[in-house]
Structure 1
Amino acid sequence: MSIGTRVKWLRRQARRGAGTLDGGQQEFTFRVAFFGLLIGCLLCFTNLYFGLQTGWISMMSLQSALIGFLVSKFFPTPMTPQENVVLQTIAVATGTMPLAAGFVGILPALGLLDEERDGVPALHLSWLDAVGWSLAVAFFGVFLSPPIRKQVIIEEQLAFPSGTATAQLISVLHQIPPPDTTQTVRQRHGYRELDTEEAQGIPDPDTPGMPLEEEHPVAEPEVVDVAPQETWNALIWSFAASGVMTLTAYFFPVVFSIPLFGTHLASEWLWTFTPSLSYIGQGIIMGFPTTLSMNLGMLVGWAILSPVAKHSGWAPGPVGDMTTGSRGWILWVSLAIMCADSLVSLVPVIAEVLYKKVWRGAIVLRDADAVLMDDKEIESPDRLVPMRWVAWGLGGSVVFGTLLVWAVFGDEGIKPWATFIGYVMGGLLSVLGVRALGETDLNPVSGLGKISQLFFAWIQPGNIVANIIAGGVAEAGAQQAGDLMQDLKTGHLIRASPRAQFFGQLLGSLLSIVVTTTAYTLYQRAYEIPGPYFPAPTAYVWLGLARLLRDGELPAKSSEFMVIFAVIFGAIAAVKAYAQRQGLPYAKWIPSGVAFAIGFLNTPSFSIARLIGGIVEHVYYTRVGREKGGIKLIIIASGFVLGEGVVSIVSLILRTWGFGVASCWGCGHGMCGGCPA
């Protein structure tokens, strides 16, 4: 079928489907909204919990779609694939607010301010102020999504691997033909798309570990065992096991703080092991290459650089001290790695935008194919988001958000004109972030936030609060637009209504403001943030860069190591970006700079557990095969992650009511949460 013929067929299908789906009203239903919000609230608590512990959160779109499908088995009428798309869209919008609104980085960073050093006292927002701040940044990325979708999904047809993988999973769960796209996207979760050659039975030599198909037409979906009862059992038992282990670790903290190489290394150098099933589950979901990069960073940071900085006198304080200790010293090297990796990864994206949109703009407009560009949209107008909604929404969110930020932080925090510029930068950086995400499946939000901080150090010098807030505004827009674009890619492949997804995004973001703010307030009352249990490592990154841009002061000898590692990982990022764009099979094994840097930020206990999960994922799919293995391992991993995240609410309630640990036996190394050092 030629491209022109296929476009006409898709448009006929869209017009035919518009009357049936009624502009998406049959997809955005009460049951979808209710269970999407319920699943999203669980993800919200989970992401806030793990984000404050390690600085790493997940969209959990695959898990949302899977759990939504299982829940739908209790519906009187089956849930359609399009309803499942909208459900997981709502869940993702609800669950990712802890990062979008800065609860795992921005707000803890403001709480670390020191009046003597920074000129302003620590800022601890009240519940109402935190709601106001969240409202200011919660909807800007949502209203950015429709016009960006038009560009990157409809016109440029970027891959968005995670969004495509979610569409593949939904097609398997609902037993419909796999979505048809113009390029092959291979995922490691046991379901993938077949390109034209594979559909015709031509072997694909570039797919490691996958049995070759002799004949596999596009019209037939891959068969994956997703028996509801068996799936429910796997999810429930893994959830229960993780929950029980979490409660056990609450009453007996040594369970999650095992001295890895003896008490001395645990107490003096922070080498402990946390055998958390949730972190093992995260490692399974992240995959072996990412967890390997993280642990390489952990070894370089904690086994090499930390002892070197301590014994050389560059970081004379206790190892765990973020100001004078080696943990604070290696933080600067981590910051250099993240900035270099993110910025270099953006270079090809920026170059492509400038080349295609600026240099060749006039040529493209004269190209005959450009006339057919609008024909790529297969949805009817009543299923799309009207541009007047986008214009009013963007304008309103910027004006309303600027006023809210001014009301919360005042003129001493950030000037209204500076906040407005922050939104403008957020919009520009969002385009870059979304394009990078669409091509590489990595949204460089940390690097984009740092770009905004660098810019505001120039236009509003000396104001640390303004620097952090402006970076948070830019990061919020980029992160939210990117996550929602993955969902819109899923909806595009499954033919879900973009308007229904848009309503779901607005609803999920609105509810998540209250849920996230309340959860964060409760955690603040029960725990010290940042503190031993919730170190909030990304808060130190935000504050550290803001202080550096104001003072220019760095710990002894850290600048030399920052330059060395920035150059090394800038080169690695360039090679990785080239390999990914060329589709080379070894691209995934080139270390990820961001994952490597996360290994510096977190103590070894978290990274080792994730490596175990990555090894389990690699060994399982190598031995069983990715097609035969299916999604069973991901189901178990999801139960592990959700179990600890949800049961942590019980631990929070117990601590709030004054129920302490049952025994501090084995905690002589001083690394147990809840036990005195």
Structure 2
Amino acid sequence: MKVERELSLRAVLTGLVLGIVLTPSNVYAGLKIGWSFNMSIIALLIGFSFWQGLASRSRSCPAWTIHESNINQTVASAAASIISGGLVAPIPAYTLLTGEQLQAGPMMAWVFSVSFLGIWIAWYLRPSLIADNNLKFPEGMATLETMTHIYNHGQEAMRRLWVLIGAAVFSGLVKAVDTFYWAFPRWSPTAHLERLTFTFDPSLLLVGFGGIIGLRVGLTLLLGAALTWGGIAPWLLAQGLVELPPGSEGPQFAVLVEWLLWPGVTIMVISTLASLALRIVQVRNVGKSASTGTSVVWQRPKLGPLAGLAVAIGLIVTLQAALFGINWLMALLTIPLALCLAAVAARVVGATGIPPIGAIGQLSQLGFGIVAPGQVPINLMSANTAGGAAGQCTDLMNDFKVGHAIGATPAKQVIAQCLGIAIGSVVGVLVYQTLIPDPQTMLLTEEWPAPAVATWKAVAQTLTSGLDSLSTSIRWAMLIAAVVGLVLGILDACAKARLARYLPSAAALGLAFILPASISLMMALGAILTWAASLRWRSLTERFAIAAAAGLIAGESITGIGASLWQLLQNL
């Protein structure tokens, strides 16, 4: 029996190179809009097109096997998902609240350690969750479907890749022209609308994300922008609840968002926690009714994986104490919480395809707010342990699902995942520090809204200082937002798929409070254009929309990072 190449040098190196290229896009997008993009399918297309194209031209180059494709996408997606380790949420929030900025080395070690823990949690969950036929892992299945399709129709991969490259080049050129040669005007119909952030933002990255998020989320962002910046913000100014600096001109995002972020964060946190709770109940009920023939939850410990888990725990506890001054016992308490919440996240992703990383983080913050009230480092960085572990655990579980379907070796996938987070930690931290050298002045601004940072910061502030530290108007707004978030979260978890399409997205509605209206409008435009294209050219849109959108995102983000690096070098 012929054994296919799997953990080959070229598969690993291809994944590492793609991880280096793709990770910056997620860091950039996370700081801009608080969302990231799964890079598995993009890595598949690029790796297959390059190596299979080379094999067709040279007899000395062996064919690119499906198992090598799986290793390549595992490494690349692990690297790109490193932002779940805290780079665009708790770490910047910690700096904003404490004034302490981690150096590059310690930050890399921290991000790696929480992600490393998630890998070993996934390893021990794999036997029970992958064997459960009721857990479909939709994101993993989408990767598998793409993988099998391109191996059956090789030319299709090349076509999608050319679309991706063309979109990336075009998006990068637009960003370069806007940055270096001729700044496109941020046009607004009136000075009043400009003050409320209703301006034209020539960002193809936002259009690309709009094409990915779909019509429901795009229209919710449009509705949220109209409600927040077109309705609530003018009312705040008229009532004197928010006062603008004398003689202020242009968009006043930074001033207005100090009030608006509170109801926005409340909607997102309450809706995601409510939805998560109901989905856990649903998943438990599915598990009880399933006849998988096994009740095993954890795999019997073996020396290698057990050592990996022990190293991960030792790293996290040591770094919490050394970097953030967290008590050893409190640091140890984060481990069982991370194990439990990562397992919950893995089951939810298996059933719904939606990674509840934000909800896991906020749930951890609430837990540590009760156990250690008033302690910002514990509230943020201990909760970061659970969120980071859950993020990497869910990413690897999707890869395990793909590997199980094609007969891959799980241990080799774990090695690939470890290599991915190692390179992702280095690249992600360097990109973050290049883009945001001064978080306290650069973040939560119109250029870098960083909604995930605003969410973690707001929750930590509330749990540390209490609601009494907020104005009466903000407290009333949070109460109303909590009711709205609760209703939307329940509907999101319980509504039939046919009805859910017509419900507003709670996450997008809350996000519209924290993003400038210009960003929401451009993302809505991308969603509407993609939907309109699907009505006229359904087959073409299904084949090429994601590739084109990914190209727009990658082109602008990579060029934007290059521009930031150039400006940094100029200032030295």
TM-score (norm 2): 0.90
Alpha-carbon RMSD: 2.7
* Contact 1:341 1:569 (C-alpha < 8 Å) held by counterparts: yes
Count of paired positions: 556
2: CA distance, partners of 1:537 / 1:42? 24
- The CA deviation string for residues 579-601 of structure 1, in whole angstroms up to 9 with x for no partner, is 35xxx323233222112212221
The equivalent of 1:560 in structure 2 is 476
2: CA distance, partners of 1:260 / 1:32? 49
The equivalent of 1:151 in structure 2 is 128
Greater shift, 434-443 or 461-470, is seen at 434-443
1:516 equivalenced with 2:428 (yes/no): yes
The equivalent of 1:313 in structure 2 is 240
Residues 616 and 659 (structure 1), Cα distance of their counterparts in 2 relative to 1, 3 Å cut: farther
The equivalent of 2:452 in structure 1 is 538
* Contact 1:131 1:514 (C-alpha < 8 Å) held by counterparts: yes
The equivalent of 1:344 in structure 2 is 274
- The offset of 1:452, in angstroms, is 1.0
1:647 equivalenced with 2:545 (yes/no): no
2:169 to 240, 246, 266: 240
The equivalent of 2:359 in structure 1 is 447
Identity of aligned residues (%): 27
- The CA deviation string for residues 308-335 of structure 1, in whole angstroms up to 9 with x for no partner, is 222222223458465xx33121111111
Give the letter for the 1:616 counterpart: L
- The CA deviation string for residues 64-97 of structure 1, in whole angstroms up to 9 with x for no partner, is 2222222222242221222212211111100111
1: CA distance, partners of 2:381 / 2:355? 20
1: CA distance, partners of 2:154 / 2:13? 28
Give the letter for the 2:532 counterpart: V
2: CA distance, partners of 1:518 / 1:547? 28
The equivalent of 1:635 in structure 2 is 547
1:106 equivalenced with 2:93 (yes/no): no
* Contact 1:225 1:630 (C-alpha < 8 Å) held by counterparts: no
1: CA distance, partners of 2:286 / 2:137? 20
- The offset of 1:487, in angstroms, is 2.1
Greater shift, 543-552 or 156-165, is seen at 156-165
3-state secondary structure, aligned to 1:96: helix
Residue correspondence of structure 1 range 243-392 to structure 2 within 5 A? 243-251=172-180, 254-255=183-184, 258-266=186-194, 268-317=195-244, 320=252, 325-352=255-282, 371=293, 387-392=302-307
- The CA deviation string for residues 229-252 of structure 1, in whole angstroms up to 9 with x for no partner, is x44432332111111111111125
1: CA distance, partners of 2:446 / 2:259? 18
2: CA distance, partners of 1:155 / 1:506? 25
Greater shift, 337-346 or 67-76, is seen at 67-76
The equivalent of 2:111 in structure 1 is 134
3-state secondary structure, aligned to 1:260: coil
3-state secondary structure, aligned to 2:547: helix
2: CA distance, partners of 1:534 / 1:248? 20
1:91 equivalenced with 2:76 (yes/no): yes
Residues 47 and 385 (structure 1), Cα distance of their counterparts in 2 relative to 1, 3 Å cut: farther
Give the letter for the 1:130 counterpart: M
5+ long unaligned stretches in structure 2: 56-60, 246-250
- The offset of 1:271, in angstroms, is 1.7
3-state secondary structure, aligned to 1:316: coil
Give the letter for the 1:292 counterpart: L
1: CA distance, partners of 2:157 / 2:121? 39
3-state secondary structure, aligned to 2:570: coil
- The offset of 1:433, in angstroms, is 1.6
- The offset of 1:391, in angstroms, is 2.4
3-state secondary structure, aligned to 1:655: helix
Residue correspondence of structure 1 range 222-237 to structure 2 within 5 A? 226=156, 228=158, 230-237=159-166
The equivalent of 1:593 in structure 2 is 506
3-state secondary structure, aligned to 1:619: helix
The equivalent of 1:74 in structure 2 is 54
Give the letter for the 1:534 counterpart: W
The equivalent of 2:391 in structure 1 is 479
* Contact 1:333 1:562 (C-alpha < 8 Å) held by counterparts: yes
Give the letter for the 2:190 counterpart: G
2: CA distance, partners of 1:43 / 1:637? 14
- The offset of 1:506, in angstroms, is 0.6
The equivalent of 1:200 in structure 2 is none
Give the letter for the 2:321 counterpart: W
- The CA deviation string for residues 24-71 of structure 1, in whole angstroms up to 9 with x for no partner, is xx2111111111111111221111111112221122222222222222
Give the letter for the 2:456 counterpart: W
1:424 to 311, 336, 353: 336
2: CA distance, partners of 1:592 / 1:224? 37
**Going by fraction, where is helix more abundant, 1 or 2?**
2
2: CA distance, partners of 1:227 / 1:543? 42
Residues 20 and 144 (structure 1), Cα distance of their counterparts in 2 relative to 1, 3 Å cut: farther
1: CA distance, partners of 2:173 / 2:397? 36
* Contact 2:34 2:452 (C-alpha < 8 Å) held by counterparts: yes
1: CA distance, partners of 2:223 / 2:523? 12
- The offset of 1:353, in angstroms, is 5.8
1:170 equivalenced with 2:147 (yes/no): yes
Residues 620 and 155 (structure 1), Cα distance of their counterparts in 2 relative to 1, 3 Å cut: same
1:463 equivalenced with 2:448 (yes/no): no
- The offset of 1:371, in angstroms, is 4.4
Residues 619 and 28 (structure 1), Cα distance of their counterparts in 2 relative to 1, 3 Å cut: same
Give the letter for the 1:424 counterpart: P
- The CA deviation string for residues 403-439 of structure 1, in whole angstroms up to 9 with x for no partner, is 02211122xxx22222221222121111222222222
* Contact 1:273 1:604 (C-alpha < 8 Å) held by counterparts: no
2:486 to 564, 567, 570: 570
* Contact 2:435 2:565 (C-alpha < 8 Å) held by counterparts: no
- The offset of 1:629, in angstroms, is 4.0
